[in-house]
Structure 1
Amino acid sequence: MSEPKELSPSFEPSTQDASDLPDGWLQVQSLDLDAQGVARKPDGKVIFIDGALPFELVTANTHRKKNNWEQASLTAIHRESSQRVRPGCPHFGLHAGACGGCKMQHLHVSAQVAVKQRVLEDNLWHLGKVKAETMLRPIEGPAWGYRYRARLSVRNVIKKGQVLIGFHERKSRYVADMQQCPVLPPHVDAMLMPLRALIAGMDARDTCPQIELACGDSVTALVLRHLEPLSAGDLARLRAFAAEHNVQWWLQPKGPDTVKLLDEGGEQLSYALPDFGITMPFKPTDFTQVNPHINRVLVSRALRLLDVQPHERVIDWFCGLGNFTLPLATQAREVLGIEGSEALVARSRENYVLNQAVAHDHKALAATEFVARNLFEMTPEMLVADGAADKWLVDPPREGAFALAKALADIEQARIGAEGAGPLPAGAEGWTPPKRIVYVSCNPATLARDAGLLVHLAGYQCTAAGMVNMFPHTAHVESMAVFERV
């Protein structure tokens, strides 16, 4: 295990001199990236405390020691933070068997946002040596009932005489005994106990390790991972459950590509982007954003920041199903969507055709092409071959877009004749870099790394950045940044 990383929220002033504290008391200074309180012992050693919040005075019991730091569990709070709140879920906490799905329910949502905004700023500066000229207002939405996607583990626990369905316990491989989950949509929350009863009554109760949830705007799909063929009785039980709870069952005997709808027919999973008149059908194993409320605002803000003009060509890197590509096609002259998955490229093409066919109520979509490519192996030559674009939208997975940023930086370094730079790729003389890049990130560390390349080597400045509270009550930080050509 590596040393926890510290971050420094500033939502409450400190009033106590640590040197005046009674023996054994600790003053919490900040949170780390796992939402543990960070304090210093009298000898200066850092101690990470589960359950403690910044500026609280606490005592804690150390359960792990390293040369430079310790980990501890909270035993008492002597001065409570004004930002501490009662968790909204009985399964959240430090008790044995507590659910590990959320990390911040004890912290007021506005303070969670302040913490995450600081995480973004700290990562940009400490990892990328980049400071945004403007910090954008955080994007926020509902704090509960927002999680339209979830992967729930299933275990038949013989010792307990029951089937458990839910997230894992805190810091454990065991499944939490979840009877409710208020971050799930209310109709799914109400389904947890009936789901447990369903699986408990199936012949395959020991060979169904997972249920994946995918909610669209009007359809709820449940993907059942099963290791053995299901009996006729089990199929009948699934159908009865689907009818009673108005859900679709999808069966997954092996990998994600084996997923198949139990019974054909019925409405297709989809979500809408009403600001652009776009509807996005998807399969339950396709990547879509967990939080549809935030996604709508995120797409609208990204396009507003990109400020696409009718004469411009735009490239959408890591385009997925076309979540940004199709809205871009309502504004640009031409759009190119590039994605690593052949299956997603095929689906994005289908979504483009569907939305083009019903565009009579809105502006027709611009000419749009979708291409499959390994975006983790981009080269300057490949960038040039894709043609110049006025603007880019970049939305990578957690690994970031290092190869893309480096290829852009390599072209710029070759163009200015920097020491050690390689030659310009063929055709680069007439190729121009994008004037503006909007980068949407689900990992502030890789965003900061890529921002460092763009700002220090590729000829850009970071004009704006801000956090997106896609996952309330978790330590996950979604964000976006804008880069302008200098």
Structure 2
Amino acid sequence: MVKQVFETHTVTIEKLDKKGSGMGAVWRDTGENNPRKLKLNVPQTLVGEEAKVTVSNPNRKKARALPDEIVKASPERIEPACPHFELCGGCVWQHWSYGNQLQYKTEEVKRFLSRHGFDTGVVKDAIGADSPWEYRNKMEFTFGRDGSLGMHELGNFRKVIDLDTCLIAGNEMVEAMLEVSEWQKEFNLSGYDKDAHTGLLRNLMVRQSQKTDELMLAVFATKSPDGELEEAVDNLIGRITEKFDNVKGLMWMENREWADMAQSEKTHTLYGRDYINDEMYGYKYRIWFDTFFQTNPVQAEKLVDLAIDMADAKKDERMIDLFCGVGTFSLPFASRVKELAGIEIVETSIESAKRNAADNGIDNTFFLAKDARRGMDEVLETWGTPDLLMLDPPRSGAGGKVMRRIGRLQTDRVVYVSCNPESFADDITWLREFGYELEQVQPVDLFPHTVHVEVVSVLRRIEK
């Protein structure tokens, strides 16, 4: 058996990495007149701080270690509000004042744009949340193989922190999670072991509308809810419906797949319906367990406001909403244009978008379940060149082929909403050769205490 070696070092944090952890380096004295550089990744630290860390097996080029002690603290450091912060992997920046988080996110957007030669003067200061707490309308909790229920431990995806609170989720969502945790322990139901592929309970998803207050729970398990589980499941139904009079749906999702994802092979509706009603920007939406819907609805409405303002849409214009999802932007824009085409490759999202449009009495939209380029080609055949295009692609971005196709459309304006400023900067670079100029960029913080930041921007085609 190889004996583990430990070394303690004091490291100065020089910058933050993509995940929000501090980075620095030390020179190790190997006793051979040949000091070696050890790069260190230190979560929960800030630039300029000095941290004492203990490194296992230090004879390598890189290592990751939590701080044993903050020797020199940044003036921007604050006391984390959550008792689970040091272990939980849900938040990364509760130790950093919120105003400084926003400044950093603004600078990150500028950094990615400047890398491609864009004028960073068009970037405004990030818009922060009215409250950086209790902002999420959806949480996915994990059952641990030791009977815990909560979030994954920081840096250890195989261990689950047994939570008794979560400050970024609504109080009632946390209460629902705790009720399920008590139920699991009362009936001694096993948590899933992802290594052995054994155990019953895998995930708990809780969704709650901040507008309608409707609550939905989905338990993901490796067996069906009948037979030997019937008594336990009946008890779960009773205790959830008794405690939460606003629960509209309780589902049991069978998931026997190896992949560690909250997915369902077969859905059992134990109580109520399989969706909740939500509202955003004055429009009604039906939300299923797997519906992509902005998880911070208050900030999401600011995104819609900004997109509408930047687009300057007119009643005689035709518009494409690319990567439209369930119609988060499509519905508010539809009342401002002559006609709107929504394009999305996920068929269930398109069906939801159609239903949401009908529920809101909107009749000037049509939605296509196609990939982005084929969808744009079909719209072009129907309309000719649209006047306005907006896109809200996944984190990976739209990609060069899609962006070049957008450029060839030659719409007057392109509104780009992004959840990843790096892929955003990469994408819009393609539009330069088609005569587009970046006019405005507005970062918006939808996820306080994390590294993520949204961007709303507008590019205009310049006549030559």
* CA 470–257 in structure 1, closer or farther in 2 if over 3 Å, else same: farther
Give structure 1 stretches of 5+ with no counterpart.
1-22, 158-162, 357-364, 412-431
1:213 and 2:213 aligned: no
Name the CA distance, whole Å, in 2 between partners of 1:132 and 1:261.
Answer: 50
- The reply on whether 1:180 has 2:165 as its aligned counterpart is yes
Q: 1:108 aligns with which of 76, 89, 97?
A: 97
Stretch deviating more after TM superposition (386-395 or 41-50): 41-50
Match of 1:197 among 182, 185, 189: 182
Greater CA drift, 176-185 or 399-408: 399-408
Measure how far apart 1:143 and its partner are: 0.8
C-alpha deviation, 1:338, in angstroms: 0.6
SS of the equivalent of 2:431 reads helix
Conserved 8 A contact 2:50-2:72: yes
User: Shift of the alpha carbon at 1:329?
Assistant: 0.7
Aligned-residue offset at 1:261: 2.8
**Alpha-carbon distance, 1:110 to partner:** 1.1
Post-superposition CA distance 1:220-244 (Å, at most 9, x none): 1111112112132123112112212
Does structure 2 retain, via aligned residues, the 8 Å contact 1:156–1:200?
no
1:82-101 paired onto structure 2 within 5 Å: 82-93=75-86, 98-101=87-90
Cα shift at 1:397 = 1.0
- For 1:371, which of 364, 368, 371 is the aligned residue? 368
- Aligned mates of 2:18, 2:59 — CA distance in 1: 18
Q: Does 1:320 align with 2:325?
A: yes
Tell me the equivalent position of 1:461. Answer: 437
Q: CA deviation at 1:328?
A: 0.4
**Preserved CA contact (<8 Å) 1:64 1:71:** no
State the SS of the aligned residue for 1:327: helix
| Offset, 1:131 | 3.2
Identity across matched positions, percent = 24
1:110-130 Cα deviation digits (max 9, x unpaired): 11111122222212222x333
2:459 corresponds to: 483
Flag the 1:385–1:167 CA change in 2: closer, same or farther, 3 A: farther
User: Cα distance 1:47–1:382, how it changes in 2: closer, same or farther (>3 A)?
Assistant: farther
TM-score, normalised on structure 2?
Answer: 0.83
Matches within 5 A, 1:274-313: 274=281, 277-313=282-318
Alpha carbons of 1:198 and 1:388: their partners in 2 closer, same or farther (altered >3 Å)? Answer: same
1:204/1:242 CA distance change after superposition, 3 Å: same
Give the aligned residue type for 1:34: K
49, 62, 84: which one aligns with 1:56: 49
Correspondence for 2:381 among 355, 378, 385: 385
Contact 2:106 2:125 in 1 (8 A): no
Alignment of 1:32-71 (within 5 A): 32-41=17-26, 47-63=40-56, 70-71=63-64
Q: Which residue of 2 aligns with 1:139?
A: 127
Q: CA RMSD in A?
A: 2.6
Give the TM-score normalised by the residue count of structure 1.
0.80
Letter in 2 for 1:139: I
Q: Is residue 389 of structure 2 the alignment partner of residue 405 of structure 1? A: no
Q: 1:64 to 1:291 in 2, by over 3 A?
A: farther
Give the AA of the match of 2:41.
F
State the shift of 1:79 in Å: 2.6
Q: What amino acid does structure 2 have at the position aligned with 1:193? A: L
Residue 264 of structure 1 aligns with which residue?
272
> Take 1:381 and 1:229, find their aligned partners in 2: how far apart are those partners?
44
Contact 1:152 1:166 in 2 (8 A): yes
Question: What is the CA distance between 1:481 and its match in structure 2?
Answer: 2.2
Distance 1:265 1:91, change over 3 A: closer
Change (3 A) 1:193 1:263: closer
Alpha-carbon distance change, 299 to 226 in structure 1, aligned in 2, over 3 angstroms: same
> Is 1:472–2:461 an aligned residue pair?
no
2:15 maps to which of 30, 35, 38: 30
User: Residue 210 and residue 438 in structure 1: after superposition, are their counterparts in 2 closer, same or farther (change >3 A)?
Assistant: same
Q: Distance in 1 between matches of 2:348 and 2:339?
A: 22
Alignment partner, residue 118 of structure 2: 130
Q: d(CA) in 2 for partners of 1:202 and 1:344?
A: 37
Task: Name the counterpart of 2:195.
Answer: none
The residue matched to 2:144 in structure 1 has which SS?
strand
What's the offset of the Cα at 1:26? 4.0
Partner of 1:417: none
Which residue type is aligned with residue 97 of structure 2? H
Cα distance between partner residues in 1 of 2:88 and 2:438: 39
Once residues 416 and 243 of structure 2 are traced to their aligned partners in structure 1, the CA distance between those partners, rounded to angstroms, is 39
CA distance in 1, matches of 2:201, 2:295: 23
Please identify which structure carries the higher strand content.
2
Maintained 8 Å contact 1:149/1:214: yes
3-state SS of 1:481 partner = strand
User: Which whole-Å deviations, capped at 9, do the CAs of 1:308-365 have from their partners, x for residues lacking one?
Assistant: 1111111100111100000001111111111111111111111111101xxxxxxxx4
Deviation at 1:292, TM superposition (A): 1.1
The reply to whether residue 448 of structure 1 matches residue 434 of structure 2 is no
